[in-house]
Chain A
C-alpha cells in the first residue's frame, strides 16, 4: 500500500484505507471515494486529481498523504 500522493498520473489504484480524520474521511466517502473502489490518477503535481467512478476529485497533498491505495 502506498499513500495516494506517491502515485503517478495515469496509474489505476484501489482505495484501501482512508487514514485521515473522521470528518474528512466521511466527506471523501460521501463523494464516492470509499474503501475498495477503483480509481485512476489524472494528475499528480503535489496536489492530486483522482477519478473515482465519474467523480473527479481534487485532493490536496496533505490529504492525499493520508489515503492509502494499492496499485492494480
Chain B
C-alpha cells in the first residue's frame, strides 16, 4: 500500500475487543464493555498513518455472516459493499479471541471467502497464555495465508505493530482457503448461484458463495425474499439444492459448519493446544451467580446496594455543589446593580442550573456502578439468571441488558434491543423500556424524597429514604413487566427464539474505562441538561416575573401568617407569581391536575418537563426563586416543605402528593429523545405515538388512584 487512503473494517465475534482496538487506533473513546453486543451500530473514525488518513469502521460483533439480527446484518452488508451504497472495505482487520480460537476462526474463514484482503489479530493473547492455551501464530499464518499477529489490545507496542501491518499490507485478496465444501455442497452452491443469485439479485459477485450457503443452511427463505416477485422460484431452487445435499447423506443445515470446522481443526491442530482445564475461578463464581435460587437473590441485592450507595455516597458532593451555587448566587446578586439583569441571572439562570447540577454526583455514581457491572461480565449473567422470569412475562432474556441500560438512559437501552432477534420481543422491550427509572428521573425522585420522606433507619443500615428510592425503581420494573405481559397478549408474531448467549469470562473492570464513562456521562448530562434548562429557565423566569403586579397591602403585611418574615415574603411572592403569565397558565391547567394532588406550580413544571424530565427541578427552582429575598440561603427542599396555600394555610406538598408526583414521573412519557429514537428504530410514527399515549394515560390514572385513594384512607 502506497499513500492511498483506505477503508478498513474491524470484524470479529462479539466481545473480542474490537472497540478497544478501534479506540486505540483512532484515539476515539467508544464505549467498551465485557458482554456480547456492546456495539450495535457501526462506528467510524480515522487513523493517520505516515501522513495518510485511513477510515476505520468498527462493526458490531457477529458469530457468522449468516446474518439474522440487525446488528449482524450491518456487519455483513458493510463487508459485501451493500451498506448504503458504500464500497467494500479495502482491508478487513479480523479481531479474534485467542482464548477461543476455533470458534473465532469460523467467522474468519467466512470473511476470507469474500475475497477481502485481511489481517488477523489474535487478541487477548495474555489471557490465553494464562489459561495454558498455546496458539502458534506462524502455523495459523501459514494455513490461512494472511498476516497473523498475536496482540494484547491495551498494549501500545502491539497497537503500533498493528499499524505497521496495515501500512505494509499488499492489499491482495487472500488465496482461496483450503476448506473444501465436499461435492454435494459445492454443487448446491453453484446451483443457487447460477439459477438464482446471478439472474435475480443485485448482490456483488464476491457475496455469492456466502449468500448461497446462507440460503442452504436456512430452511425458511429468509425475510428479505418475502417481497421478492419471484420468491417461489427461489424456494424451489433452494429446495433442490438442499435435496441434493440430503441425497449425499448430509444435513444441509450443518454441512457448511462441519466442513469449516474440519478445516479449522487442521489449522489449529498442533497450532493451538490447551491444557485440560481444571475448575477455574470463573466456574466457581458462575456456579453461585447463575444458581436458580442464589442468582436472582444476588441480582436484587446488587441493585439494592447500588441504589442505596448512589443515595448516601453522593450526599457530601451534593452539599458542596449546593453551597457553591448559593454563594455564586449571592456574589452575583451583590456585585451587579439591582435590576432586570441581576434578577434574570440570579433567579433564572443560576437557580435553574443549580437545581439540576446538584444531581450530577448521583448520576455519576449510577454510571460508575453500571460500568462496573458491564466491565466485570456480570451483565450477561444477569440476562441469563432473569431469562426464565422474562420468558414467563413474555419478554426474552436478551431484554435484560437493554432494560438495565434503561436505568441510565432509555436511548442507549432502546439501541441495545438490536441484539434481540425476534421482532415482537424487540418491539415489546422497546415499548416498556422507558418505565425503567432513567437517570433523568433521579433528580425529581431525589428532591421529593429528601424533602418529604423522613430520614430514618430501617433494618439498622438501610435508610427509609434509600428504601423509597429503591421502591421507585422496583415500581418502574414492575410496571414494565406488567405492560410487557399485557402487550404480549395483543401483539405476538410467534417468532420468539429460545435463549442462548455467550457468557464472557470474568474480568476486573478496566478502571480507566469506568472512570472515563462516569465523567463522560456526567459531562453529557451537564451539557444536554444545561442547554435545555438554561433556555427554559430564562423563558420561565420571564413568564413568572411578568406582568409585575402590585401586591395588595393586606397580603404584603399579612399579620396572620405566623412564621414571621419568611412566610410573609412567601405569600407576597406567591401572589406575584400567581398573577404572572406562568401563573395564569398553571392555574389554567390546575383543574386537570388537582385530582392528582398537584397545584399550578407543579403544573408549570409538568409542562416544561415534557421536554426532558430533569427540567422539572430547574423549573421549580426558578419558580420558587422569583421574588425571593436577596441573600436567601434556603434550599429548594425547605421551600417546598414550607410552601403553604396563602388562603387556607395548608401545606401545598404533603408526603402523599409527593408520592403521587413521583409516580407520575415514574410512568409518564416525558422525553423527546426517547420518542425520536423509537421513531428511528421502529421506522414509523405509530409506535412513538402509541408509547406516548399509553404511558402518559397510565401515569395519570395511577397518580389519580394513589392520591385519591390515599386521601380516602386518611393520609
**Which A residues are closer than 8 A to B by beta carbons?**
9, 18, 20-32, 34-35, 40, 42-43, 45-47, 49, 51, 53-63
Q: CB-CB contacts of B231-259 with A at 8 A, as 1s and 0s?
A: 00000000000000000000001100110
CA distance A49 to B358 in the complex (A): 44
CA distance A16 to B499 in the complex (A): 20
Residue from the list B97, B257, B282, B384 in contact with A29, Cβ < 8 A: B257
Q: For residue A38, which residue of chain B has the nearest CB?
A: B276
Q: Is the CB of A49 within 8 A of B64?
A: no
Question: Which interface residue of B63, B258, B292, B380 has the most chain A CB atoms within 10 A?
Answer: B63
CA distance A51 to B277 in the complex (A): 11
18 additional contacts, CB 8 Å, given A34-B257, A46-B388, A56-B286?
Answer: A18-B254, A22-B253, A24-B497, A24-B498, A25-B254, A26-B217, A29-B257, A29-B261, A30-B66, A31-B103, A42-B287, A57-B501, A58-B290, A58-B397, A59-B498, A59-B500, A60-B498, A61-B388
Task: Tell me how far the C-beta of B367 lies from the nearest C-beta in chain A, rounded to whole angstroms.
Answer: 26
Task: Tell me how far the C-beta of A15 lies from the nearest C-beta in chain B, rounded to whole angstroms.
Answer: 12
CA distance A26 to B69 in the complex (A): 14
Residues of chain A lying within 8 A (CB to CB) of residue B503: 49, 56-58
Q: Is the CB of B500 within 8 A of A26?
A: no
Q: Interface residues of A: mostly helix, strand, loop or mixed?
A: mixed
Q: Is the CB of B254 within 8 A of A29?
A: yes
CA distance A18 to B292 in the complex (A): 25
Residues of chain A lying within 8 A (CB to CB) of residue B106: 30, 32
Residues of chain A lying within 8 A (CB to CB) of residue B402: none
Task: Tell me how far the C-beta of B98 lies from the nearest C-beta in chain A, rounded to whole angstroms.
Answer: 9
Residues of chain B lying within 8 A (CB to CB) of residue A26: 66, 217-218, 253-254, 257
CA distance A4 to B287 in the complex (A): 17
Contact (A30, B384) CB under 8 Å given A22-B219, A45-B295, A56-B505: no
Residues of chain A lying within 8 A (CB to CB) of residue B43: none
Q: CB-CB contacts of B101-128 with A at 8 A, as 1s and 0s?
A: 0110010000000000000000000000
| In the assembled complex, B71 has its CB within 8 A of some CB on chain A | no
Q: Is the CB of B290 within 8 A of A20?
A: no
Task: Tell me how far the C-beta of B383 lies from the nearest C-beta in chain A, rounded to whole angstroms.
Answer: 8
Residues of chain A lying within 8 A (CB to CB) of residue B292: 45-46
Q: Is the CB of B258 within 8 A of A34?
A: yes
Question: Which interface residue of A25, A29, A63 has the most chain B CB atoms within 10 A?
Answer: A29
CA distance A63 to B500 in the complex (A): 8
Residues of chain B lying within 8 A (CB to CB) of residue A46: 292, 388
Residue from the list B253, B261, B384 in contact with A47, Cβ < 8 A: B384
Give the number of A-B contacts (CB < 8 Å): 127
Residues of chain A lying within 8 A (CB to CB) of residue B282: 56
Q: Is the CB of B502 within 8 A of A54?
A: no
Residues of chain B lying within 8 A (CB to CB) of residue A55: 100, 103, 502
Q: For residue B253, which residue of chain A has the nearest CB?
A: A22
Task: Tell me how far the C-beta of B421 lies from the nearest C-beta in chain A, rounded to whole angstroms.
Answer: 9
B:270-303 near A, CB below 8 Å: 274, 277, 282-283, 286-287, 290-293, 295
Residue from the list B133, B287, B499, B500 in contact with A54, Cβ < 8 A: B133
Residue from the list A42, A54, A57 in contact with B283, Cβ < 8 A: A42
Q: Is the CB of B497 within 8 A of A58?
A: no
CA distance A59 to B63 in the complex (A): 16
The 10 A-B pairs with the shortest beta carbon distances in the complex, nearest first, are A45-B292, A32-B103, A60-B499, A54-B100, A63-B498, A58-B384, A56-B503, A29-B257, A30-B63, A30-B64
Q: For residue A63, which residue of chain B has the nearest CB?
A: B498
Task: Tell me how far the C-beta of A69 lies from the nearest C-beta in chain B, rounded to whole angstroms.
Answer: 16
| In the assembled complex, B131 has its CB within 8 A of some CB on chain A | yes
Q: Is the CB of A47 within 8 A of B66?
A: no
Residues of chain A lying within 8 A (CB to CB) of residue B290: 42-43, 45, 47, 49, 58
Q: Is the CB of A9 within 8 A of B287?
A: yes
Residues of chain A lying within 8 A (CB to CB) of residue B380: 58
A-B contact pairs, 13 of them (CB 8 A): A20-B498, A23-B497, A35-B254, A46-B292, A47-B388, A49-B286, A53-B103, A54-B274, A58-B397, A58-B502, A58-B503, A59-B500, A60-B391
Residues of chain A lying within 8 A (CB to CB) of residue B97: 54
CA distance A62 to B99 in the complex (A): 29
Task: Tell me how far the C-beta of B682 lies from the nearest C-beta in chain A, rounded to whole angstroms.
Answer: 23
CA distance A45 to B387 in the complex (A): 12
CA distance A43 to B279 in the complex (A): 12
Q: Is the CB of B68 within 8 A of A23?
A: yes
Q: Is the CB of A56 within 8 A of B218?
A: no
Residue from the list A23, A27, A54 in contact with B63, Cβ < 8 A: A27
Q: Is the CB of A32 within 8 A of B102?
A: yes
Q: For residue B107, which residue of chain A has the nearest CB?
A: A30
Q: For residue B62, which residue of chain A has the nearest CB?
A: A30
CA distance A55 to B387 in the complex (A): 19
CA distance A24 to B287 in the complex (A): 25
Residues of chain A lying within 8 A (CB to CB) of residue B293: 45
Task: Tell me how far the C-beta of B113 lies from the nearest C-beta in chain A, rounded to whole angstroms.
Answer: 15
Residues of chain B lying within 8 A (CB to CB) of residue A34: 254, 257-258, 261
CA distance A21 to B220 in the complex (A): 11
Q: Is the CB of A59 within 8 A of B499?
A: yes
Residues of chain A lying within 8 A (CB to CB) of residue B388: 46-47, 60-61
Residues of chain A lying within 8 A (CB to CB) of residue B286: 42-43, 49, 56
Question: Which interface residue of B254, B261, B290, B381 has the most chain A CB atoms within 10 A?
Answer: B290
Q: For residue A54, which residue of chain B has the nearest CB?
A: B100
Q: Is the CB of A58 within 8 A of B218?
A: no
CA distance A9 to B291 in the complex (A): 11
Task: Tell me how far the C-beta of A64 lies from the nearest C-beta in chain B, rounded to whole angstroms.
Answer: 9
Q: For residue A21, which residue of chain B has the nearest CB?
A: B219
Task: Tell me how far the C-beta of A27 lies from the nearest C-beta in chain B, rounded to whole angstroms.
Answer: 6
CA distance A45 to B293 in the complex (A): 9
CA distance A30 to B99 in the complex (A): 16
CA distance A35 to B68 in the complex (A): 22
Q: Is the CB of B103 within 8 A of A28?
A: no
Task: Tell me how far the C-beta of A46 lies from the nearest C-beta in chain B, rounded to whole angstroms.
Answer: 6
Residues of chain A lying within 8 A (CB to CB) of residue B218: 22-23, 26
Residues of chain B lying within 8 A (CB to CB) of residue A35: 254, 258
CA distance A61 to B257 in the complex (A): 24
Contact (A45, B291) CB under 8 Å given A26-B66, A30-B63, A58-B501: yes
Task: Tell me how far the C-beta of B65 lies from the nearest C-beta in chain A, rounded to whole angstroms.
Answer: 10
Residues of chain B lying within 8 A (CB to CB) of residue A29: 254, 257, 261
Q: For residue B381, which residue of chain A has the nearest CB?
A: A58
Q: For residue B396, which residue of chain A has the nearest CB?
A: A60
CA distance A57 to B13 in the complex (A): 14
CA distance A26 to B106 in the complex (A): 12
Residue from the list A9, A22, A54 in contact with B131, Cβ < 8 A: A54
Q: CB-CB contacts of B492-512 with A at 8 A, as 1s and 0s?
A: 000001111111110000000
